[in-house]
Structure 1
């Protein structure tokens, strides 16, 4: 089931990143008093009253600096910029938090954003508007500020919610209203196909790969980065199996994502990762593995999805007998948190090794569904414990009693121990390696969970 998406919209330095961190429960965005410091992490997950949802932290729009040259507040470029940001937020989000600064009060940019948000909403048959927009008035630490928040009724978007994101004051009120606005989840159509998402930074060759795999020019291919704006599903049969290929817009690092359309095309890409079984992470061989690539890999792992790394444009590389090994070593080093993923060197342009892509993805999916017997797991645990006992902590020793695989997709193992808090994360990694020595689980993350039990 897809989680609702909540977009944070507003001008710079109103506290969107602070609110983002408050809702996500951890510091995922850099927070600074300097306008425009939001970097890198764009998405987070939050939960309130038992309802999980995704949050998107957008970059603020500076009405005076819309590029290299200053812009006046009323300039066409600025108005077009905020119009795009507001419109795509409404198109992609299930709710919008319009964040304002209670310290400075209403500004002309706030009024402009409010106007665009109002015009972009759709009126439903019951008279309500979609998506719901909530006016958040941040930096209301004092009672005086909270009383003054009533001026934000002028925005014409309903009741203002005075909060202090930095202290968490009154954030529960806005969360109550937000969660209550979510539509009831619809029953999803039965789809047993294996879903494979093609992801990567812009211009890595994702659309070319899809065209080559399907043999049909279904997606526009262009050398200009950022052509694909939507996630496009292509259903096909392969080896007697039903497969859905999901082509996504390219993903850039947070600081390089433009406001508006491209920013929310990234959101669509992460939605695709969320509903995929296997992600094909495409790396451009001509640039080598970059920070953007490791960033995307991290999101794949965050969602516990299986992965195959495709090094594309291999035909454009001057090679000797050691080139492939050198590339592999570099990728393994940069993706050391995903050392279980297979790597294929391909050319979507010439078709080099293209016949290996889908078989590898389907093999990885098969590994994702693999199960080990309880007796096998306990044999692995006991041998691991005998060969390398867990170090003691404050004189207390961890004892592992037994383990079992409680689910697949992804493979999840439950180990009963005397005290779960004694289990160190490095020992969990050690156990994972021992499990993989027995069964590789190619391209698939392994989850190990501990649970307390008396001896």
Structure 2
């Protein structure tokens, strides 16, 4: 199921980040202990009533001059138009309607995307309503009065936002055809890879409209199996500001990863693994996707008998939080090891969907506890009653214990390693949920 994407657009200082933080609440998607994952929160998972969506903050740089503000806002609006299913356009009742708002409203109106117009900083609905109505002049529908900092009017606004969601998208049946997102920094060879895979498989390219104008879904046949490749290439922005460009590509990556089963992170062998690679990998890791790291342009590297080991070590250290990721060395240009890419995708898909019986899991658990006693604290020892698998994609396990506080992260990691020793689960993260049961409930 792919979640709708909602983007926030607006001038500097109208309260974009405040609104973002209020909506994201505690379920901010950035995991604190994942190294290399972006610090500035660009996106978060939000739930409202029965709707789940990904919220994206397109803001970023706070420019000095008016002209730069307008061009920045146009860029942000364009990102939102390209990637979002619904756009929240936020304005400020205290500053009133300004020229930049009107220009951006024109762009949004022409895009034919659903736009929810929000007027922020309304602390007194009775007194300030006349000022709110002024925003009808933007011609993009009814203005919704809110106070992000006072948390007023948020529910009505969310009802409006979720009202635009396409029920088919939210209830999209899992298609049988696996979706593979090719992600990575600009110019790492994403398009050449897809083209090479296409070439060697000679299939009609069907352009299924992706969520973005230029992420094209391509169906590829290999050995009688169909795959949909989501290509995030095609950053056509000639943007001077590197930070914006990076933000743009990360937002695009989030929307591709959201729809994928398996993510192939392409790394440039000539550059080595970079911080942005780690950020992109972190997005897939948090979303529990199958993960393959493909080192491209391997043919372009001068090699000796140690090169592959050194490179592997470097990748494993930088992406230490995903030791499960499969690693391949390929060349999109020469086609080196591309058949192996399909084999690896098939294997990862199998593990993403693997279910382990409860009986077998508990045998592993008993054995693991015998080999290494569960931790104790101030005389109280952790008791683990049993463990069961509750879902796949990613495989998710619930562990029932007497006291959640005693379940150290390191012991969960130990149990995860034991499960992997028995079943492999290569290329997929595993998720563990710890539940407490009091002794008397036994």
Matches of 1:110 and 1:213 in 2, distance apart?
Answer: 45
With over 3 angstroms needed to count, the CA separation of the structure-2 counterparts of 1:208 and 1:425, relative to structure 1, is same
* 1:382 alignment partner in structure 2: 366
Instruction: Give the match for residue 167 of structure 2.
Output: 184
For 1:391 and 1:115, the matched residues in 2 are separated by 61
1:346 deviation in Å? 1.6
Structure 2 equivalent of residue 95 of structure 1:
86
How much does 1:280 deviate?
1.0
**Given the alignment, which residue of 324, 349, 356 partners 1:340?**
324
Q: Which residue of 1 aligns with 2:143?
A: 160
Q: List per-residue Cα deviations over 1:270-308 (Å, max 9, x = no partner).
A: 333222221111001111111111111111112211111
- Inter-CA distance 108–413: structure 2 relative to 1 (3 Å threshold): same
Distance 1:141 1:287 in 2: 52
Shift of residue 237 of structure 1?
2.7
Change (3 A) 1:245 1:60: closer
Q: Aligned equivalents of 1:323 and 1:433: distance in 2? A: 28
Aligned to 2:118: 136
RCO greater where, 1 or 2, for CA within 8 Å and sep 6 or more?
A: 2
Is the partner of 2:195 in helix, strand or coil? helix
Paired with 1:428 and 1:340, the residues of 2 have a C-alpha distance of 15
- Check the 8 A contact 2:291/2:427 in 1, yes or no: yes
Aligned residues: 419
Asked if 1:9 is matched to 2:16, the reply is: no
Contact 1:369–1:408 at 8 Å: present in 2 too? Answer: yes
Over 3 Å counting, the alpha-carbon distance change for 1:120 and 1:375 in structure 2 is closer
Query: How many angstroms apart in 1 are the aligned matches of 2:354 and 2:128?
Result: 56
CA distance in 2, matches of 1:391, 1:156: 62
User: 1:63·1:109 contact (CA, 8 Å) conserved in 2?
Assistant: no
Once the 2 structures are TM-superposed, how far is the Cα of residue 27 of structure 1 from its aligned partner? 8.6
Give 1:369's aligned residue: 353
Secondary structure class of the residue paired with 1:99: strand
Q: Deviations over 1:399-437 (max 9, x none)?
A: 111222233332222222223454233322221111112
Residue 439 to residue 39, structure 1, CA distance change in 2 (3 Å): closer
RMSD between superposed Cα atoms in Å: 3.3
Give the match for residue 197 of structure 1: 181
User: TM-score by structure 2 length?
Assistant: 0.83
Structure 1 position 42 matched with structure 2 position 39: no
Q: TM-score, normalised by structure 1?
A: 0.81
Cα distance in 2 for residues equivalent to 1:353 and 1:340: 20
Cα shift readout 1:370-410 (whole Å, capped 9, x = no counterpart): 23333321122122223333323455332111222233332
Q: Are the structure 2 counterparts of residues 19 and 313 from structure 1 closer, same or farther at C-alpha, using a change threshold of 3 Å?
A: same
* Pick aligned residue for 2:104 from 99, 106, 113: 113
**Separation (CA, whole Å) in 1 of partners of 2:68 and 2:428:** 52
Structure 2 partner of 1:403: 387
Distance 1:113 1:398 in 2: 57
Tell me the CA shift for residue 319 of structure 1.
Answer: 2.1
Q: Matched residues in 2 for 1:310 and 1:250: separation? A: 19
- What CA distance in whole angstroms lies between the structure 2 residues aligned with 1:60 and 1:101? 18
The SS at the match of 2:267 is strand
Matched with 2:208 is: none
Q: Among residues 114, 132, 135, which one is paired with 1:149 in the alignment?
A: 132
Q: Is the 8 A contact 2:292 2:326 kept in 1?
A: yes
Structure 2 unaligned residues grouped into runs of 5+? 31-37, 206-211
2-structure distance, mates of 1:278, 1:29? 19
Range moving further from structure 2, 285-294 or 135-144: 135-144
Equivalences for 1:218-297 in 2 at 5 Å? 230-249=214-233, 256=242, 258=244, 267-297=251-281
Q: CA deviation at 1:360?
A: 1.4
Residue deviations 1:344-381, cap 9 Å, x none?
A: 11221122222321111112222222233333211221
Provide the C-alpha distance between the structure 2 equivalents of 1:303 and 1:167, rounded to a whole number of angstroms. Answer: 31
Deviates further, 43-52 or 81-90:
81-90
